[in-house]
């Protein structure tokens, strides 16, 4: 997706201000309402942002790369224990991607009992947070969106999600 100059500038704002709220972006962008900010994000920058567990707006790893991240950036995520284990075992960004079933087997081999639905859900949640990417083959496959050492994982209780 090619971004216009305005979209590029606003994406840079999002990366610089993260974590942020609609109100802060509204003021920065001279918009009339938080709703207008939400519409802009959804219509122009949907693949470059997500909302964290506190509904704060954050840039995906792809967004940070696109606006010229300094290479020192880590992506901090608060995720349930299962997702933290997924980050530990899923293919790295330079590796061949893993299917949901492959991740399930890796988790079980590492001593973590779970089921395929939980793994699938966890992978999609990690994708929404910009931690993993989907590589479409016959079935969706996944690998980390950035090097494992650039993800700072904080495990949270499932009830907090």
Q: What is the mean pLDDT of the chain?
A: 87
**Higher-scoring residue by pLDDT: 137, 96:** 96
61 with 123, same domain: the answer is: no
Domain endpoint, select from 66, 84, 116: 66
150 CB-near residues (< 8 Å, 6+ apart): 61, 73, 74, 75
pLDDT higher than threshold 70 for residue 161 = no
25 with 61, same domain: the answer is: yes
The string of pLDDT tens digits covering residues 42-77 is 999 999 998 877 788 988 888 888 887 554 456 667
60 with 80, same domain: the answer is: no
Could you give the CA distance from residue 83 to residue 87 in angstroms, rounded to a whole number?
6
For residue 65, which of 12, 5, 2 has the smallest C-alpha distance? 12
According to DSSP, the residues that pair with 72 across neighbouring strands are none
Whether 17 maps to a domain, the answer reads yes
Whether 40 maps to a domain, the answer reads yes
Share of the chain above pLDDT 90, in %: 49
85 with 128, same domain: the answer is: yes
Whether 118 maps to a domain, the answer reads yes
Helices (H) and strands (E) in the chain, counts: 7, 7
Q: What are the angstrom distances between the C-alpha of 83 and each of 3, 4, 11, 68, 138?
A: 31, 35, 27, 28, 24
Secondary structure class of 66 (helix, strand, coil): helix
| Number of separate domains in the chain | 2
Q: What domain range includes position 55?
A: 5-66
The string of pLDDT tens digits covering residues 111-153 is 999 999 999 999 988 887 778 888 876 778 889 988 888 888 8
82 with 156, same domain: the answer is: yes
CATH code at 101? 1.10.10.10
Domain endpoint, select from 39, 66, 93: 66
The reported pLDDT for the residue numbered 71 is 43
Tell me the backbone φ, ψ of residue 146, rounded to 5 degrees: -150, 165
């Amino acid at each position: 997706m090619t971004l216009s100059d305005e979209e590029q500038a606003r994406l840079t704002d999002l990366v610089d201000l993260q974590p942020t709220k609609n109100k802060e972006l509204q003021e920065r962008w001279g918009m009339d309402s938080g709703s207008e900010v939400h519409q802009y994000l959804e219509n122009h920058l949907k693949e470059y942002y997500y909302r964290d567990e506190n509904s704060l707006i954050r840039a995906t790893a792809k967004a940070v790369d696109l606006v010229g991240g300094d290479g020192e950036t880590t992506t901090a995520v608060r995720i349930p224990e299962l997702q933290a284990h997924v980050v530990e075992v899923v293919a790295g960004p330079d590796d061949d991607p893993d299917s949901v079933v492959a991740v399930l087997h890796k988790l079980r081999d590492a001593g973590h009992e779970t089921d395929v639905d939980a793994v699938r859900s966890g992978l999609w949640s990690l994708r929404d947070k910009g931690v993993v990417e989907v590589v479409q083959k016959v079935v969706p496959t996944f690998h980390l969106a950035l090097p494992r050492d650039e993800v700072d994982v904080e495990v949270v209780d499932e009830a907090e999600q």
